[in-house]
Structure formats: C-alpha cells, structure tokens
Amino acid sequence: EVQVLGDTHGNLVHLYERDCSVQRRHQKVVEVAPAVNLAARIREGLANDAVKLARAAGYYNAGTVEFLVDAETGEWFFIEVNPRVQVEHTVTEVVTGIDVVRSQIQVAQGHSLFGPEMALPRQDQVPLHGFALQCRVTTEDPANQFRPDYGKIHTYRSPAGFGIRLDGASAYGGAVITPYYDSLLVKMTAWGRTFPQACQRMDRALREFRIRGVKTNIPFLENVVNNSLFQEGGATTSFLDQTPELFQFSQRKDRATKLLTYLGEVIVNGNPEVRGRSASGSLHAAPLPSHDPSAPPPGTRQLLDQLGPEKFAQWTREQPRLLLTDTTFRDAHQSLMATRLRTYDMLAIANFVAHRLHHLYSLEMWGGATFDTSLRFLLEDPWVRLATLREAIPNICFQMLLRAANAVGYTAYPDNVVREFIYAAEQHGIDIFRIFDSLNWLPNMKVSLEAARKTGRICEAAVCYTGDILDPKRDKYPLTYYVKMAKELEKMGAHMLAIKDMAGLCKPYAAAKLVRALREEIGIPVHFHTHDTSGVNAASILMASEAGVDIADGAIASMSGTTSQPNLNSVVAALNHTPRETGLDLKALDRAADYWEVVRKYYQPFDEAPNSGTAEVYVHEMPGGQYTNLHAQAQSMGLGTRWPEVKQTYAEVNQAFGDIVKVTPSSKVVGDMALFLISHGMTVAEFLRLSPNHSITFPNSVIEMFEGALGEPEGGWPPKVQEIVLKGRKPKPGRAGETMPPVDLARAA
C-alpha cells in the first residue's frame, strides 16, 4: 500500500510504500516501511500509479492506495483506496519524519502541503531513513487460534529506548479487558538503519513487555520478527499458513511474579522445608578464594580425551601417587545435609577448583540422590547443574553415581530408559560412570555397563561392601565373594573397579586385605569409596593406599567426616613426603575448606550429621548417604525423638530381610520398612509372626523389592519373609528392566 497526501490546492505527494503481506485471514498482522527487497521498478511503478489515481480523482486528505503484487511475475493489481489514516501509518511517519495525522488535520483546515504551516518537502525531497515495522499487541491467545482473552491486567510494563514508539490503547495495570471491544492493547513501532536491525530492536522490545493477567499475542510476534524469511523480505500473504513453526511457543515463566509470591509467602508463613528445624543463626558471605583468571590448566579430562578409556585406565594404574576424587559436590553434602546443596554455591567456587585443584583425579558431582532432590526440594534442573558446572570446570573428569537398572531413581526402569539416560549424561559432560547394583546382582548391571562403554568414557563398575571380612562368624560376604564379583565385572568390560563402602564398614585392616587380594586377581584400577561414620576410615584409605589402591574418595575438610567421606585435606597432608604423595596443593585445599565451612552454615536446618564418629554404624550398617535423609524423613513423620529406635529397627529389619547389601534403593526399602513398623506400633518380631493372609498393606517399595523389581540378593530372599510381604503371591520372574515394555522417549519428550 502507498501512502498519499493531497491538499485542496492541487498538491499531491506519496510517502512511499508499506508492505502488509503478513496477514491472517486477510487481516494485517505486521507492517513494514519501506518494503524489503522490492525491485526499484515495482516500487516506482506503485508510487506513480497511486499518485496518478489520486490526482485523477481530485483526492485531498491522507489516504492509502492498496495493491496486490504477484511475487513471481512482479505484476501489480489495484485493490482499493482507503480515504483515511490507517492503523499502520506509524511506520511511514517513522521513516519519513512526516506526521500523517497532523498533516491530515492541516489539510482539512485548508493549508497547502508546501505552505509555511505544513512545510512538507517536495516529492523529490521526501526523506526515507532506514526501515520500520509495527506490531499490534493484542489480548489474543495465539496458542488457541487467537481466541480473544479478557480479564484484569495485574501487571503492565512497556518497553522503551532508542528507535521504539508506542501508541497505547487500554494498556495499564488494573485495566479490565472486556470481550465487547477490540482486543488491541498497544501498537509498537521499531526503527533501524537496516531491516534486520529494526527486527532485532522489535524483538528486544517485545521481550521487555510484562503483561500479566491476560494472554497476549507477543510470543507469536516474537516468532514472526525472528523468522529468517521475514527478515529477508520474502514473506507473502501465505507466509503464516506455510510457516507452522511460527505457532510453536515456549512456556512463559513469569519468574518475577512467582518470586514475589514466594517471598511474600515465606515472609508471612515461613518456608515449610525448614519448619520445625533449627535456625542457621548469624550468616555472612563465604570467602571466595582467588585464582588466576586465565584459562585453567589441562587436567584428567584432557588426558581422557587424548588417550581414550582403555589407555586412560592403564595410565591410572601406572601412577605412583595416590589419585584422589573429591566428593564435595555430591556424596559429601548428600551424607551431611540431605542433599540440599544448591548449584549456586557450587558454581561460586567452581573456577577456583578448575584452576587450583586441577590435579584432582575426578569430581563426583552428579547422580545418586542429587537428581531427585534437585527436582523435588531445590526446584532446580539437574541437567542445568551438570552443564553449567561442566562449563566452569572444563579440565577435571566429572564422575556420577548410577544405580544400574534404577538409573538415578528408586525403582526399576526399562532398559531403553537406562541406556538413553547414560548417553544423555555423557553428552552433558559426565566422564566416569560409577555403576553399582543395590544388591550386587550382576544381571542388573549388564545393560548399564554396556551403555557406559559405548559412550567412549570410563565405565567404573562398583562392588558394594557390607558385613566384615575380618569376622569369621559373618560368612555371608567373605573375601572370596568380593574377589569373585570383581573378576566377573572385569570380564563384563569394566575399565575400573570401585569398592563402594557406602556405610563405612570397611575397617582399616579389612581395606588392606581386600585391596591386596584384588590387586592379585584383577588388572584394572581399583577405586576406594568409603564413609567416615565410625571416625576411623581415613585410616582405611591410608591402609588401602599401602596395599596398592589406585584412587580414593575424600571430601574437602569442612565437608568431611562422620557420615561424609574422610578428610581429603588430611589424607593429602598425611601422604606428603611418602612414595604415594598426591601432588595436590594443600594450601588450595585449605582455602576451599574455608569457603565450605561458611557455606555449610547456610544449610544448618538440614545438617543432620552426627557430631562425632560412632562405632554404632557397625551395628545398624546404615549408608552415610542415607543417614541424614532418613533422619529428615523420620522428623517429617513425627519420629525425630525416636531416632535411636529407628536405627535399631533398621538393623533388625536388615537381618529379617536376610542381611542384604544396603545401598539406594535397597537401603531405602529397609528404611521405609523401619519407619512403617515404628509408626504402626509393630516390632520386627511381630512382623515375622504374621500369617500370609494378613490384612496389612506394606510400603510399595517393600512389596516391589520382594516381587523381584530390584533383583536377587546373595542367597535369595528369606522364603518366610517373602511370603508375608507378598501375602502368598509368587514373585515376578526374570530381570525387571528386561520384562518392562520400552518407553516411547520421543513421545514423552
């Protein structure tokens, strides 16, 4: 369409054209001036015809002469004349600098276009500066066929800045939008020296809008102005119909309103997550240690990329020093403060770790309970945690804990879910997959081990340690049991073997005996993981080191001890000036400890770790990672004051279940049963006296485990207990993941 302007004195000019091709049901959506990529011949012909038509009719006033242009042949056809100001006149005003509305009024007053009152330029001097486009912001829902929305606008914030013009209608906070009138809220015009620049400015301004209470068409407009075909000037009248991606919208987050609502709720009613817990007291900012701002030095991740998994494992075996894994980002806070550590506090020190602690073998920072608690309690995306930490620490191998057939959940999953999860984890930055089964049942580990090997990263198979290989009376899990399992895992393709002592039961002399036996029987590196619940397991690491273990897990000093891992700083200091000196910077470790000491106080309401080591762990055998979580669970059920009874019942349930390996999810089942019995006023002895036709409904986790969902323990399930739990039903045959139908992951996404 061509904008014309004539007066009663016979003067007539055109103000160039506007491209209104982007239409929906023959109604204009976005207008552009001048038209992009319009041939000079067509532009000149349209303008001349518009002026010729208006002059022949003796037209005076502002008016629009509309044409239809054939995009293929370049022919144009006259449609109509609109003898008035159009909604889209704004784009013409912006690129020419001529006020069309004012000019129309002055023409009606009898003034000449070129007289002193109007002072418009002659046709050959009418300016044309850059490009402009207009978007009409309406209360229409583009996801619902542009159905008009109505209601009260709770929040309204409009954009501003250079090159932005707003022509407002009924847009303000508190305005009530009714279904009886036009849905237009505001017209926005953006200008730029080039058309892509104008589109960028429009996109920025659209994103700055905040309109709450009613739906708007802003997401649709954003898609239009960012479309490459539109920006190239190739959009025709069928553009919207032939471009379905314009109607694909991301969900609006409304973060500011949600944050204000949350803050108001917490201020008035308190945070339910910390209700009834001890307060953190006086807090101050954690001291961030300094480091060189240049790129971090290369570490084990670059070595793994260079060597590949097999040669990297060989390199690991050849190192004379004791290699160390830091668990602070995962198991340490899971074991001390119920896995509540936020990504924010990890990222704050991540660059320091990359620069000053680059001699670490790996960082255990993902998997286990962190996935569940991130989503359920912290309201964080665990994938974002992995990606952002990977970006901040590009040089140290990232290690995750994978529950084999249970992935990072508490039940069995179909095999394809486990495989694809492993592939996705590797793509997001995981380098070492520590894979275990909660009952040490090898068939459950096969799929995970194969998938981990296919990623081209490290497959570390874990043997879960329980019992006491030094006690001849506890003969269910002797030394030969662990050696046999280790040899099987090596045959199954493991690059490394982990001793997963999740409860800290592996005493110093037992650690030396076990590592020495493994070193004689297998050729892959051995990685020792333990907890310090007893208070003596730093000695277990030192004894394992003497026996030839390759890698050991520890936690930064202020995040270590008791249910967490042994003190990493102290282990490093103890090995200085010995053949197994670690090469880690002790001063850097101490600066990290200063940071974590302050940060840990932030989480005081969740810090359920015991104040000191205890030999009681050798009785209840509760995993360190479960201790604080189960304590928190008991408190939420009103059983916090009965914690000693919970621990004792936990030990009795374990024996009733056949003295099983206890690590998530099997440990969770034992904990669920202990809490169930106490809350129902039942003892383990009374449970064992139940007949199969009882009417009690046990926790689903208990039923599923005895049905076979978690696999088979060493020696099988006690028949009597299985009969009581299943009420006489037969357990399900086979491996759960194998019998479950695959999940349609594409459809789920």
Q: Name the phi and psi angles at 194, rounded to 5.
A: -125, 165
Amino acid making up residue 426: E
SS3 labels along 254-293: CHHHHHHHHHHHHHHHCCHHHCCCCCCCCCCCCCCCCCCC
User: Could you write out the DSSP letters of every residue in 384-425?
Assistant: HHHHHHHHH--SSEEEEEE-GGGTTSSS---HHHHHHHHHHH
Active site residue 476: no
In angstroms, the CA 464 to CA 458 distance is 19
Burial category of 488 from C-beta neighbours within 10 Å (exposed 0-12, middle 13-18, buried 19 and up): middle
Packing angle, helices 624-636 and 666-679, rounded to 10:
30
- Nearest CA to 22 among 250, 230, 286, 267? 230
Which three-class secondary structure state does DSSP give residue 106? helix
Query: What amino acid is encoded at 352 in this protein?
Result: F
The single residue of 28, 487, 601, 727 carrying the catalytic annotation is 28
Alpha-carbon distances of 169 from 27, 130, 172, 218, 709, rounded to whole Å: 19, 27, 9, 16, 62
H or E segment and range at residue 135: strand 131-138
Of 100, 183, 101, 188, nearest in space to 136 by CA: 188
Amino acid at 273: E
Segment 177-180 long-range contacts (CB within 8 Å, at least 24 positions apart): 177/139, 177/149, 177/150, 177/151, 177/152, 177/153, 177/214, 178/150, 179/148, 179/150
The residues that are catalytic are: 28
